[in-house]
Amino acid sequence: MRGRHADAYSMYKRGTRDYINAYDKEPVRSLNGVSKEIGNPSWKRSFLYILVASLASFLYGYHLGVINETLESISNDLHFNGNTMAEGGGFLGSTFSGLIVDRVGFRRAFQLCALPMIIGSSMSATAKNLWGMLLGRLFVGTGMGLGPTLATLYVTEVSPAYVRGTYGSFTQIATSLGLMSSLLIGFPAKETEGWWRICFWVSAVPAALLALFMEFSPESPHWLFKKGRAADAEAAFEKLLGGPYVKGAMAELSKSERGGEAETVKLSELLFGHHRKVVFIGSTLFALQQLSGINSVFFFSSTVFKSAGVSSQSANICVGIANFLGSFAALLLMDKLGRKVLLIGSFSGMIVAMGLQAASASSLVSSSNEVYLSVGGMLLLNA
């Protein structure tokens, strides 16, 4: 039995190398630069698929904010006061997202992401007690942990290189739109009894659309090629880029595959080997973003603004607009300034925002200016 598996694996590797050798022998046009003969592939071919993948980020933003306006009503009905279970589910989803993608591919992984969101939203919408709500949030959190990672990777792998940064910003814009949608839909929750249940039912719609439209979206050519399905990878590239660009895309893909064969990276090497610096920097950036307290803004800004004497509805509109404007600025500047410049600017803004909030809590600031500094810092942090 072991010999049979070994033969199958060697056949797969030989087949992959045959494709690599075949494409290495042919002259190709690079996709990373502008070809004088045919130019760049049309961004329109992959645009709809980027929008479909961005539904996962939209759902992430929606479920971040759905508790914000509805928390008071839910607390009165179910004595529910937080999102701990959603965060726990998010930890589980994000932990296993890479393993799931490697096993089943992006299309099925997106559908697996949508399923717990549909189930969890339905459970939360029909909850009769605290435990029903908590269990629903746990399911939703699992999908939330999967969604952003999947969307980011999928967009990177199916986008033409010259608009990859711009398309990458779509996921953040979708998160902002999801957050704004949840805040706007939640406005009647304080006046209309049971409206918070409608807010959860609404979120099941984009989750169902994500699962449906992914059935008609192309699989990542990178994943297909990695699995030895080079012919399917060609078909996916033709769908995403157009026929004239398939050979160039496959040639670049074969080079990356050949590099992957030469060096298989283990988890221990990521943590302690020569890759550790990249892993440390990336992980630290994400950790610093979370430690800034941004999730508290999404979950509890209504409560914070109310304690400061500011109308929660007006404040939440400002929060949504600030988040959207920051995401839109990244969309326009990503491919012009580069990631490093935007990261430096973003974290510099976070330092200023945290400084304003710290100053508002000090005894050096008068009570009349305290509100302006606190609210201004929160909006800047959200941008």
CATH number of residue 142's parent domain: 1.20.1250.20
Inform me whether the pLDDT recorded for 116 exceeds 80.
yes
**What does the pLDDT read at residue 375?**
72
**What does the pLDDT read at residue 258?**
61
In a domain, 222, yes or no: no
In a domain, 234, yes or no: no
Most confidently modeled range among 14-18, 79-83, 183-187, 344-348 = 183-187
**What does the pLDDT read at residue 9?**
37
Residue that terminates a domain, selected from 160, 189, 217: 217
> Residue 291: CB partners within 8 Å, gap ≥ 6?
none
**Tens-place pLDDT, residues 125-158:** 999 888 888 888 889 988 888 888 899 999 999 9
Domain that residue 96 falls in: 39-217
86 shares a domain with 197:
yes
200 shares a domain with 275:
no
319-340 per-residue burial string, b: 16 or more CB within 10 A, e: under 16: bbebbbebbeebbebbbeeeee
Record the pTM. 0.75
CA atoms of 321 and 383, how far apart (whole Å)? 8
Tokens coding 111? 């559908």
274 shares a domain with 209:
no
Give how many domains the chain has, as a whole number: 2
**What does the pLDDT read at residue 28?**
45
In a domain, 19, yes or no: no
181 shares a domain with 88:
yes
For 279, the 3-state DSSP assignment is helix
In a domain, 355, yes or no: yes
173 shares a domain with 46:
yes
**What does the pLDDT read at residue 299?**
61
Most confidently modeled range among 29-38, 227-236, 266-275 = 227-236
In a domain, 286, yes or no: yes
342 shares a domain with 205:
no
In a domain, 185, yes or no: yes
In a domain, 101, yes or no: yes
Tokens coding 356? 């304003």
More confident residue, 381 or 163: 163
